Structure 1
């Protein structure tokens, strides 16, 4: 029979999460929230926010991804001192350049890399459109674009690529498992993540762990914590095609020191490790036990 002191619950909405919260409170256990939600990742409706406030008041502490996630919980009434960071991490070692650079390159030329489900919020038609303009400007110096993934928008995306005459330079791999993705991480020149909204975006962690410079939408929940502007990558407005085109040109032109940016990306992401998650969760548990 399990008799925990604390119960860790991944999210506050959904029948399973609410049932677990009720069980915890009924049995005198201390519920701890795991949350990656930000204020801007969905349209907020007042009555749902009211319910959230009521639910969140029952939790004793929380572990969140980073700064925007923490701000949102504070806005919903969670005490600042009860919120700890470290939720959104990956096993960085699996992507380390020392482990993957020896893998055979999937292309024999430089390329931008994007890894997504092919669904509307991932904003791939925008990326393709920005890339088409980039290609017109960069001409023979342009890098290719690799899109790894699959989903409901695949036929639309393939048609857009064909209509733009870019079938030879934009490559769709289909869905790939992590091991199959490693060669693409290993040999890409830069990673692009253009979501119009995203609670975090763990694939950005993976790209940085592979030592890639990153171009990340400023609507992604990870942007504020992971991207240090001009140091390990750049942010952009996911509705400003010209801005992304300019960043593609900047990255691929030799104007900036990509080796230095790559090293900075690799160094910065080391903090966001499984150890960081464990430390944050232990702090959240200790806080809950000391303040219930």
Structure 2
């Protein structure tokens, strides 16, 4: 008898697709049918341009005539439940519990006694916690049959909330590493004809970008014309504030803002950057760090990023820093652009380490979570 699994997320982007397609092919050998459900085909927060119809795995959009942000909740809920009834999956992997629509999917599982697998990248300290919310969350988490999480901090948090350790599996936060492999992208033309640091973010408060600009200004003040440039890809509500700060520091010729770029448009920047920086003050994981490492880049990563513990090997493939300490990041930027470290060796270490965090790792973890859920 065919076992049917659906994975629900808000909107399928490039890395969601890489995970789902690998799982589809792996599970097919076990005679499991895997398909994706997304709340909406379009999302303002992440304006990816992905043609899911080209995927070998079936992906169903609950809403496809407006963005997720503009969808009316009652309509979204009705269509989601209708699709779950029509497709009747034997198990459902649900992305988080913050959205009411994801809780609705969990309630559907509860009603029809289908295993619900929680997909989580939440850590204990990625935002302020209140005791009463934690109580509710603990009650909820205990009613999922299993979980697939990003890494060790995420597993520790679910254990603290009351989920059994043996019900929690690793591998949720991965990207399609092969897309970024240096051998694939090294021949792309360089967007700059000089060395540069690379950062890729939405321009929102938690990404801590004014801090990055201050650290870069201090770095440039020390090295002058010998300093590397900074490329800051992305867009968002803080763009005007960041542009004003760049002008105030007179750094217009050295800091480049190419805007929001689709995955393929980012590849030349990954191919030719000298070092990647991620400065978030709060970050559940930080998949862009995976991408940078898959491109063979050394990384400087805020210790408040959920990926830091699992992805950064201090002094081997990069360094961590306190995202409130400008002097510390400035010193690391000086270190990376000096001859004090071997960037090539560090980049190779990044590339080797990130192979442990691949779509295969996701598929293995998901299969373990499902097997646990249906046998307990």
State the TM-score, normalized to the length of structure 2: 0.76
- CA–CA distance in structure 2, aligned partners of residues 19 and 167 of structure 1: 48
Q: What pairs with 1:257-272 in structure 2 (closer than 5 Å)? A: 257-272=342-357
User: Match of 1:183?
Assistant: 268
User: Match of 2:228?
Assistant: 143
Deviation at 1:191, TM superposition (A): 0.3
Q: Are residues 1:93 and 2:178 paired?
A: yes
Deviation at 1:42, TM superposition (A): 1.0
Q: Are residues 1:110 and 2:177 paired?
A: no
SS in 1 for 2:188: coil
Structure 1 unaligned regions, length at least 5? none
Moved more, 171-180 or 63-72: 171-180
User: Match of 1:45?
Assistant: 130
SS in 2 for 1:112: strand
- CA–CA distance in structure 2, aligned partners of residues 61 and 31 of structure 1: 7
Q: What root-mean-square deviation, in Å, do the aligned CA atoms of Structure 1 and Structure 2 show?
A: 0.8
User: Match of 1:64?
Assistant: 149
Moved over 2 A (4+): 1-5
User: Match of 2:59?
Assistant: none
Deviation at 1:155, TM superposition (A): 0.6
SS in 2 for 1:34: strand
- CA–CA distance in structure 2, aligned partners of residues 119 and 31 of structure 1: 32
Deviations 1:53-111 (A, max 9, x none): 11111111100000000010000000111100000000000000001010000000000
Deviation at 1:5, TM superposition (A): 2.7
Q: Are residues 1:247 and 2:332 paired?
A: yes
Deviation at 1:14, TM superposition (A): 2.0
Deviations 1:213-268 (A, max 9, x none): 00000000000000000000100000000000000000001111111000000000
State the TM-score, normalized to the length of structure 1: 0.98
User: Match of 2:79?
Assistant: none
Q: Are residues 1:20 and 2:105 paired?
A: yes
Deviation at 1:3, TM superposition (A): 3.8
SS in 2 for 1:173: strand
Deviation at 1:4, TM superposition (A): 2.9
- CA–CA distance in structure 2, aligned partners of residues 14 and 187 of structure 1: 38
User: Match of 1:224?
Assistant: 309
SS in 2 for 1:156: helix
- CA–CA distance in structure 1, aligned partners of residues 227 and 233 of structure 2: 19
**What is the count of residue pairs matched by the alignment?**
291
Structure 2 unaligned regions, length at least 5? 1-85
- CA–CA distance in structure 2, aligned partners of residues 43 and 272 of structure 1: 28
Q: Are residues 1:170 and 2:255 paired?
A: yes
- CA–CA distance in structure 2, aligned partners of residues 160 and 19 of structure 1: 44
- CA–CA distance in structure 1, aligned partners of residues 108 and 264 of structure 2: 39
- CA–CA distance in structure 2, aligned partners of residues 115 and 13 of structure 1: 25
